[in-house]
Amino acid sequence: MQTYPPAAAVAAVDLVKVYGTGDTAVRALDGVSVGFDRGRFTAIMGPSGSGKSTLMHCLAGLDTATTGQVLLGGTDLTTRSDRVLTKVRRERIGFVFQSFNLLPQLTAERNILLPLDLAGRRPDQEHLDRLVTTLGLAGRLGHRPSELSGGQQQRVALARALVTRPEVLFADEPTGNLDSRSGAEVLGLLRDSARDLGQTIVMVTHDPGAAAYADRVVLLADGRLAGEIHQPDIASVTDALQTLASAR
Amino acid sequence: MNAVLRTQLAGVARRPSRMLLTGLAILVASFVVYATVLAQQITVRSVLNGLSGTPEAVGLVVGNGEVDGDMLTAISALPGVAEAAGRVQIGSQVGGRYLNVSADPGRGPLSLVALASGRYPSAAGEIAITPRTAQLTGFAVGTSADLDPGTGTKVPVTVVGLVTARDDFGYDAYAPWTTVSALGAGERLNQIDVRLDPGADPDAVRSRIDALVAAAPADGRPEVATGADVRLAEARAASADVNSVFAVVGMFVAIAVAAAGLIAASTFRIVFAQRMRQLALLRAVGAGRGSTFRALATEGALTGLLTGLTGVLAALAVGHALPPLLRAAGFTVASPGFPVFRGIGTVLLAVVLTVVAVLAPAVSASRVAPLEALRSASTTGARTGIGVLRWIAGLLPLAGAVAVAAYVVANLPGADTENYEVMPMLLAVVLSGTLAFIALIALGPVLVRPVLALAGWPLRRLGPVGRLAVGGVGGSARRAAAVSVVVALGVTLVAGVLVGQASMRVLMERETAASAPADFDLTGGDGVTLPDGFAERAARSGELTRVTPYRRVSSVTVGDVDAPVTDVDTTALPRFADLDYHAGSASGLGSGKVVVARFVADLAGLTVGDTATVRGAKGPVPLVVIGVLSDMGPLHSGLLVTPEDLTRLGAPAAYSGILADAAHDGAEGRTEALRALRAVPAGDTAYSVDILADQRDQIESGLRMVLAVALGLIGLTVLIAVVGVGATTALSVVERARESGLLRAIGMSRGALRTMLTTESALYGVIGAVLGLALGVPYAWLALQAVGLNAPLALPGWQLAAAFVALVVLTALAGVFPARRAARVSPVSALGTE
């Protein structure tokens, strides 16, 4: 059993996730132990079916693991009820999705404030103003999602994730639906919030270009940890992925 | 089968429950239609079985012409005739009360009555009465009374028995024909029922009677019919009543069917919208617009066939299971048959309705651009506005509705309007209402937002869940409008019935204030006065209160108007406060003053302040009109004056009657009071007690029954509306699984998500109820005015509020199940759905 430095904001310990039963059972995660350091931007990579999305869902309390532990700042999430997990998601975790997932009937501002509304908390106006300015959303707050470009929608989604000052921000293929310029913008913003604001970020991606923005890349294959790269660049990530693919 | 249809059907086969959901409203509608068919059959059969107007034993009937006692004697003597009974009825007065005396043999197979107690009359001057008659008159076996058969001379009669008859109206007496004949019917008969000897040849007897009858003069010659024919004709007449009742039921069922069509159209639109990407993909790979449309329309027809068949079979199962259960519980109910053709007709109706409902959604779905397939699903926002065509389709009927309504308002009857035709005006109101409703269907999406802004305001203040629910409904205004309009249809009908009923109630109260101001009325009939001491005796009874003696003269003249006059004290009985005055009032009624009924004022040309010259047995007496009643005066009088003025008009000093209320509440209090008042004449049957309270109760229970029946029938439409809300919520939930997933992912609890979705469902009810009330109340008022009854406009606030709340609760309940399902799904799988 390994121990992890207290610097880890969120960590998985011997995490196993099995889908289905009997012959059709699939071990999506097969004993993964990994920590994600506080204030750093980590990318999870791996071929399709390597279990990277499952890992993120378990870490974020969206899904429960079959065995093993998920530790969020010392809290064990694996044995918690749905009610507790809901509260954790609302107060300690932020999400950014591939397909933005904004509510079409709400304005950008109401979308951003949605998690605070659900928690019944008042927004910290200063924090909100800084977020809106940093993300370049000033003047767009009154618009509805259908009136915004893809990049703008994803920046609204990013603001929504950051408005609660979450301990960890999870991003699931955040640039998957964006053109390269908007994608680069969003990734730059993610990197800046880790670097300047000390925001812990965990991002799942299959794009080496996106992973290169991270401080560290964790590689997954067949539900197991398959190595990691510190201070990655496009070349080193591409090499590692090719090695993994040829090893199968 | 084309490729598009094959893919669509494969999709349906994978999720058959969704197809059922789409057609749920149609299923309920076809169930209701076929259940009505079966109910009619059950009712007709039960009625036919229970019909015994002419006894089974009657072989031949001679009637429909001049029939008399000689003919009865002659027929009785014919060979082959076992017995002949003469039927005749006379109307009479006993103690100021109407009594119908019918001739009946009293025993044997031709008798229509059965002896309950005492004996059947045999001697002259003996009668038997029905139980209800005994109850109302206070007569019992042994009571003697004077009977006035309309000739003016009183004949003493004695009650010797109680008999039960098929109909008991409370004024029925029976006696042998000789007695009825002696009472004043003479030799005249209405008809002769003939029983044949067993083994006699009916045709032979009939020809003998024919020969006998042929002697009668041609213009009054009676007809001879077989008992079977007469029974059949009576049964037909009875079932014609049933059929006309079911024609009204059919009208309500038709409204419910139309509502189901609207719901089906809306659900198809939602289902097709969910498949937009898939349809676009099919179009992108080369499916033509035509084949896409045909595939969708075929799917609609199949849905109609499936749900229609299910509905019919379900109705058949219930229709055949219910009568045995009812019979086991002691009711006489016949089982229905298997009306195959009407069953097929119902299924066809379901198919046609579904195809009509699917046309518009299929056309717009088949117009999907192939490019739609490449777009991300989340960016296709639902359109909230409406196009120019729809504006026109809404504003034109609206203009028509307003124009027709304006025409009705301009031609509303005044109090004096003569030759007023009710039907065309009522039809105009219905036409206007229908047009307004069509306008509502077209303009619905535009109306949803303002209504939502109003109704959603308190919800928004309740926090994010309420805000999201309001946003969710407002975000798909067209869908909300489509389902709310059907709810509105139900609420419009409910509101109309409630308002109509409340107004009729006020009208009835006014009328009973004049005709039945107290619980009891002790009188001796027109022109008869009460002996001294009656009023004092009644006043002494502890069972009676507000004992109010009055005098009434049946005829005085004002100008050339003939009217009854009374001096009853209108302050003595609280119910007189319900009297409605057209002008002025009765307060300040003093010597030299008069309150007149509307008809007197109209015919004599009197208004408040005029001096009326009234002539009675004495007179003339000049009286100043201080009030004009909207309707009849108290105790059906035309004028109300003070006692001294009535004396000046020549009225005798003795009282004409005594009004009194029961001192104690409840049925027992009333019975005791009745007993006490009946004791006042001390056995003198020239005076009788009218139970006015019964009149009021009958009107009240009649109104209540009409209300219950009407609400029950409207309930069909409400049921379909609620089913529609449930289906819409269920389909919306499926469609918005991603949204639910997202909300759960960013920290909405399961309970909050459930509350949000249930609230959305209830909001459909709120919007529908607001629109329905806005439409129903004014139209109910308009219809009431158009009927020309001078009915007041009543607004039954509590009842309407209860209907509103009930509908919102029902629609909320419709959303509970889909909401629970949505909340159970894990956020990960919800986010993963396309």
Write down the mean pLDDT value for chain B: 84
| Omega cis (within 30) before B620 | yes
Residue boundaries of the structural domains of chain A: 38-62+92-246
Among the partner-chain residues A97, A144, A160, the one whose CB lies closest to the CB of B831 is: A97
Higher pLDDT, B152 or A248: B152
- Tokens 């409370």, located at residue: B170
- pLDDT of res. A2: 43
Partners of A193 in the beta sheet? none
Tell me the mean pLDDT in the region B523-545. Answer: 84
Q: Which chain A residue has its CA at the smallest distance from B473's CA?
A: A105
* Share above pLDDT 70 across residues of chain B, in percent, rounded to a whole number: 96
* Residue B439: pLDDT over 50: yes
Interface-testing mutation among B374, B376, B379, B460, with chain A (most A C-beta atoms within 10 A): B379
Mean pLDDT calculated for residue range A27-36: 90
Calpha distance A159→A170 (Å, rounded): 13
pLDDT value of position A6: 55
Least CA distance to B375: which residue of chain A?
A177
What's the first-to-final CA gap in chain A, in angstroms? 27
Q: Count CB pairs under 8 A between chains A and B.
A: 77
Average pLDDT over residues B50-56: 66
Q: What is the pLDDT of residue B381?
A: 45
Residue B376 C-alpha, separation from nearest chain A C-alpha, in angstroms: 8
Tokens 């079979």 found at:
B313
Rounded CA gap, A150 and A159, in Å?
A: 14
Evaluate whether A86 touches B747 at the Cβ level (below 8 Å): yes
Phi, psi (degrees; rounded to nearest 5) at B61:
-130, 125
Kindly identify which residue of chain B lies nearest to residue A89, measuring between CA atoms: B747
3-state secondary structure (DSSP) of residue A208: helix
- Please state the rounded mean pLDDT for residues B603-623: 85
For residues A20-39, average pLDDT: 87
CA dist., res. A139 & res. A133, Å (int): 10
Residue A101 to chain B, least CA–CA distance (Å): 7
CA dihedral B767, B770, B773, B774 (to 10 degrees): -110
pLDDT in tens, B265-302: 888 888 888 787 778 877 777 777 888 888 888 888 98
CA dihedral of residues B440, B441, B443, B448 (deg, nearest 10): 80
- The residue whose two tokens read 């109101």 is B429
pLDDT score for B766: 92
Q: What is the pLDDT of residues B802-828, one digit of tens each?
A: 999 999 999 999 889 889 888 888 888
A165 touches chain B (CB under 8 A): no
Which stretches of B262-330 are assigned E, i.e. beta strand?
none
Subunit contact A89:B378, Cβ cutoff 8 A: no
Which residues make Cβ contacts (< 8 Å) with residue B412, sequence separation at least 6? B785, B786, B788
Which of B283-297, B362-376, B564-578 comes out lowest in average pLDDT? B362-376
B476: nearest CA partner in chain A: A105
The pLDDT assigned to A1 comes to 39
Answer whether residue A4 shows pLDDT above 50.
no
- Indicate left, alpha or beta for B582 from its phi (over 0: left) and psi (-120 to 50: alpha): alpha
Alpha helical stretches, state H, B78-191: 131-137, 177-180
- What is the pLDDT at residue B770? 92
Tell whether A86 is within 8 A of chain B (Cβ).
yes
pLDDT for B695-740, tens place per residue?
Answer: 788 888 888 888 888 888 888 888 888 888 888 888 888 777 888 8
**H/E segment holding residue A62:** none
Contact residues of B toward A, CB < 8 A = 376, 378-379, 381-382, 463-464, 467-468, 471-472, 474-475, 738-739, 742-750, 752, 826-828, 831
- Confidence band for A87, pLDDT divided at 50, 70 and 90: confident
Q: Which fold has domain A38-62+92-246?
A: Rossmann fold (3.40.50)
- Tell me the shortest Cα–Cα distance from A233 to chain B, in angstroms: 31
Quote the pLDDT of residue B833: 60
Mean pLDDT of B132-138: 83
The span from the CA of B771 to the CA of B793, in Å, is 20
What integer pLDDT is reported at residue B280 of this predicted model? 81
Average pLDDT of span A12-20? 89
Residue numbers in B near A114 (CB within 8 A) = 464, 746
- What is the token pair recorded at B148? 């006035």
* Model confidence pLDDT, tens digit, residues B651-693: 888 898 999 998 888 888 888 888 888 888 877 777 888 888 8
Choose the closest CB to B747 out of A63, A90, A105: A90
ipTM above 0.85, yes or no: no
Mean pLDDT of chain A: 87
- Whether the pLDDT of residue B379 is over 60: the answer is no
Strand partners, B67: B189
Q: Which two tokens stand for residue B436?
A: 């307004």
Among B467, B739, B828, whose Cβ lies nearest the Cβ of A62?
A: B828
User: Best residue in B277, B374, B378, B479 to probe A by mutation, most A CBs within 10 Å?
Assistant: B378
Q: H helices of A94-233, where?
A: 108-119, 125-134, 150-162, 180-197, 208-211
* Chain B contact present for A102, CB below 8 A: yes
Average pLDDT over residues A169-192: 89
Q: List b or e across B184-212, with b for residues whose CB sees 16 or more CB atoms inside 10 angstroms.
A: bbeeebebbbbbbeeebeeeebbebbeeb
